[in-house]
């Protein structure tokens, strides 16, 4: 990964490599082509992938945490078999297209439009900063069918690259600060076509679809960030035990030991936070608060761990020959995408103050692993 990061060269075969070991469908029930495991298994996969490089985890996050979750949670049984199965089996790669040049944290401001013509929708607009957007076969895309309706007009679509026609064009984004080995793209929609059969949910459900997907995406980011913390801890411990200054290991120096202790503390806290969110998902309960909190804390702590790891390594860490510089650059992205740090802080405050309470969603995820009929979870008490 270091070479691909240095050359800003995303691996077009990365997803196929993940598919060969069954990773893309880890959390999808077997009856839809997945492995039938649970959310803790997905979190572990994200943590281990980001332990190596965040670009690997990003491919899984957008595919399983964002795209597939939306289709599974809000799609019909026919859509699950037709659209979800090839994604879960790793035959097709998915991504998630919500952000626009003027609509990031303010999702209600999106301008991409969907006009119904017979049994087709014609999509016009632009999406930006779409992870895996240049490689994906299927894009879970959000557009408005009624710009005057605000959030009530937003609608979700499974945009198939093969069916979209010449109106779909993607272009990779270069010269990124971090995640250089990850595919990130601009998606241009100039009369791209989507069959009505690929609309996910009803017209106007798109905002709810997007928010439920982001709960799962934030869970993946949080568990992945724990992998960055652990990687920085392991690298720092190894270096501190091998680097000798004035006749002793630098790990014996109090200020170095303090940084390493902080990494250990943050990893233990971070893993508990994402596992709590995963446990709730396994019970079929909503985890908006827990996923947002885990994403906020873990992304900040991952960036701090990478910064401290670079300091522990000294001049060695300042070189691209050492992976900690890559971890530092990559970790910065986690405080921006899938809800900025500031959005997560605001959510945490609203939950603490009682201004926001979780209500059961219209299409709750069933308890996992789910091999039988979907189970509707009991309503969760207000915090």
Shared domain for 177 and 156, answered yes or no, is yes
More confident residue, 374 or 139: 139
Of 38, 64, 93, which residue constitutes the final position of a domain?
93
Higher pLDDT residue, 365 or 131? 131
More confident residue, 323 or 379: 323
What domain range is 310 assigned to? 208-353
Residues 262-272 have a mean pLDDT of 98
Cα(190)–Cα(265) distance, rounded to whole angstroms? 50
Q: Answer whether residue 187 is part of any domain.
A: yes
376 vs 156, more confident: 156
Task: Based on the fold, state whether residues 258 and 296 are members of the same structural domain.
Answer: yes
For residue 193, is pLDDT > 50? yes
- From residue 381, give the alpha-carbon distance in Å to each of 219, 357, 376: 21, 9, 15
Q: Is residue 338 among the annotated active site residues?
A: yes
Mean pLDDT over residues 210-225, rounded? 96
In the 3-class helix/strand/coil scheme, how is 138-164 assigned residue by residue? Answer: EEEEEEECCHHHHHHHEEEEEEECCCC
Q: Is residue 110 part of a domain?
A: yes
Whether residues 74 and 105 share a domain: the answer is: no
pLDDT at 381 over 90: no
The answer on 329 and 197 residing in a single domain is: no
With 80 as the cut, is the pLDDT of residue 373 above it?
no
Domain count, the chain: 3
- Paired strand residues for 124: 113, 190
- Confidence class for position 361, pLDDT limits 50, 70, 90: low
Catalytic residue among 50, 338, 342, 350: 338
What share of the chain in percent tops pLDDT 90? 88
* Residue 96 near residue 123 (C-beta atoms within 8 A): no
Q: pTM for the full model?
A: 0.93
The kind and range of the H/E element at 22 are none
What's the CATH number where 65 sits? Answer: 1.10.540.10
Report the interhelical angle of 206-242 vs 324-333 (nearest 10°): 160
Mean pLDDT across the stretch 260-271? 98
- Average pLDDT value over all residues in the chain: 93
- Asked whether residue 258 carries a pLDDT value surpassing 60, the answer given is yes
d(CA 183, CA 172): 7
Tell me what the mean pLDDT of segment 304-320 comes to. Answer: 96
On whether both 8 and 115 belong to a single domain, the answer is no
Report, as an integer, the average pLDDT of 225-243: 98
pLDDT value for 320: 85
111-161 pLDDT tens trace = 999 999 999 999 999 999 999 999 999 999 999 999 999 999 999 999 999
Residue 252 has pLDDT above 90, yes or no: yes
- Tell me: the pLDDT tens digits for 10-61? 999 999 999 999 999 999 999 999 999 999 999 999 999 999 999 999 999 9
């Amino acid at each position: 990964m270091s070479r691909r990061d240095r050359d800003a060269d995303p691996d077009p075969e990365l997803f196929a490599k993940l598919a060969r070991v069954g990773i893309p469908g880890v959390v999808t029930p077997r009856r839809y082509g997945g492995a039938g495991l649970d959310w803790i298994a997905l979190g572990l996969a994200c943590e281990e992938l980001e332990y190596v490089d965040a670009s690997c985890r990003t491919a899984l996050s957008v595919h399983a945490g964002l795209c597939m979750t939306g289709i599974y949670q809000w799609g019909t049984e026919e859509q699950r078999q037709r659209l979800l199965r090839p994604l879960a089996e790793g035959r097709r790669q998915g991504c998630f297209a919500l952000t626009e040049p003027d609509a990031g944290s303010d999702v209600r401001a999106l301008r991409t439009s969907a006009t119904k013509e017979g049994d087709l929708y014609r999509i016009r607009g632009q999406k930006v900063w779409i992870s895996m957007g240049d490689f994906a076969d299927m894009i879970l895309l959000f557009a408005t069918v009624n710009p005057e309706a605000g959030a009530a007009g937003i609608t979700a679509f499974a945009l198939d690259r093969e069916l979209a026609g010449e109106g779909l064009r993607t272009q990779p984004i270069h010269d990124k600060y971090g995640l250089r080995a990850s595919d990130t793209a601009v998606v241009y929609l100039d009369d791209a076509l989507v069959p009505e059969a690929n609309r996910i949910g009803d017209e106007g459900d798109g905002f709810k679809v997007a928010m439920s997907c982001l709960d799962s995406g934030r869970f993946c980011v949080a568990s992945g960030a724990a992998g960055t913390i652990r990687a920085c801890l392991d690298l720092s411990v190894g270096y501190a035990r091998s680097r000798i200054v004035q006749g002793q290991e630098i790990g014996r120096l109090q200020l170095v030991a303090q940084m390493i202790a902080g990494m250990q503390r943050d990893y233990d806290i971070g893993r508990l936070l994402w596992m709590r969110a995963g446990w709730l998902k396994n019970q079929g309960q909503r985890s908006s608060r827990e996923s947002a909190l885990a994403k906020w804390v873990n992304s900040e702590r991952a960036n701090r761990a990478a910064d401290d790891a670079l300091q522990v390594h000294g001049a060695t860490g300042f070189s691209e020959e050492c992976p900690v510089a890559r971890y530092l650059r990559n970790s910065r992205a986690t405080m921006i995408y899938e809800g900025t740090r500031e959005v997560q802080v605001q959510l945490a405050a609203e939950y603490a103050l009682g201004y926001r309470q979780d209500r059961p969603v219209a299409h709750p995820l069933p308890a996992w692993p789910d091999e039988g009929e979907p189970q509707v979870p009991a309503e969760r008490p207000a915090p």
